[in-house]
Amino acid sequence: MWVTPFVIAVTLGLSGSAVAGDSDGDVGGWQNAYTSGEEVILEAGAHQPGETHADSSDQTGQPDDYIPSTSPAPTPTAEPEEDCGPMNRCISYEVVALPEVTLADLASFRPAEPTLTGQPTGFGVAGMPTNVVAAASEQHLSGTLLGWDVTVRFVPAGFVFDYGDGTTGRADSGGATWESLGQAQLTPTGTSHVYAARGAYQASVEVQYAASVDFGGGYWQPVAGFVTASSGGYGVRVVEARTALVDETCAEDSSGPGC
């Protein structure tokens, strides 16, 4: 901090030569002492130790007693590298969009054909229910689809029966036998059919499979629509019911009365 310079004039009656040797030095803390012949003039421009002043030879703004540090500048600390050794697992992730799959893409994946049976086996009675039973199960097929490893799942969703006489019927299941249903023979079931006239008929069933695909992530992506598979023909011989005493059944003698 600078102190405003001030001048003290002291009349000493000294000659100029008496203080000439100290005209530019410090005198008891005073600076720039000189004489005019009759007076000794002392100018004070003192400053406190450790403070900066405008006429200092140090132009950096540091105090005169400042001692620069000789310690080296700190070195920036580098970020530690990720340790991907045997004890640590370093996993990188990549988001990949799964392809959209249509029924046309599944042309090379075909579910197995269903089976079809009936009761009485191979026969029916005109005007009475003939029980028709289809069987199909869930299937998983593996392969490559659109360049991806994939598993295709087929789940039976509907059964369309063609009874061979020009009529059809749809059911959510393939049906069941009279025995498993606890019903008497020649009684209606969810998949039975009544033939109006005697004759030979070829029945069949088409199973509608709901398809979905899994590209390895455990998520089943549904495919719109159905993939279908059909059974072979199942022959039904329909006879008329007549009251007669016979020695053998129609199964034993197909040429017997009423067969």
Question: HSE (CB half, 13 Å, CA atoms) of 170?
Answer: 5
Query: 104-131 as b/e, with b when 16 or more CB fall inside 10 Å?
Result: ebbeebebeebebbbbbeebbbeeebbb
Does 219 score more than 70 pLDDT? Answer: yes
Q: Tell me the whole-structure pTM to 2 decimals.
A: 0.59
Which of the four pLDDT bands, split at 50, 70 and 90, describes residue 94?
A: confident
Mean pLDDT of 200-218: 96
The CATH fold of domain 103-239: Immunoglobulin-like (2.60.40)
Q: Which conformational region is residue 192 in: left (phi greater than 0), alpha (psi within -120 to 50 degrees), or beta?
A: beta
- Would you list the domain boundaries of the chain? 6-44, 103-239
Which two tokens mark 145?
Answer: 């689809």
Does 237 score more than 90 pLDDT? Answer: yes
Does 68 score more than 70 pLDDT? Answer: no
With 0-12 / 13-18 / 19 or more C-beta atoms within 10 angstroms meaning exposed / middle / buried, residue 86 is exposed
pLDDT of amino acid 80: 67
Single out the residue of 112, 107, 109 nearest to residue 231, CA to CA.
112
Does 115 score more than 80 pLDDT? Answer: yes
pLDDT of amino acid 71: 66
pLDDT of amino acid 197: 96
pLDDT of amino acid 22: 46
Written as one string, the DSSP assignment of the chain is -B---EEEEEE----GGGSGGGTTS-BTTBEEEEE-SSEEEEEE--B-TT---TT-S-TTS--TT-----SPPPPPPPPPPP--STTS--------PPPP--GGGGTT--PPPPEEEEESTTEEETTSEEEEEEE---EEEEEEETTEEEEEEEEEEEEEEE-SSS-EEEESS----HHHHT--TT---TT-EE-SS-EEEEEEEEEEEEEEEE-SSS--EEEEEEEEEE---EEEEEE-------SS-TTT-TTSTT-
Does 38 score more than 50 pLDDT? Answer: yes
Specify the range with the lowest mean pLDDT, choosing from 19-23, 63-67, 158-162, 200-204: 19-23
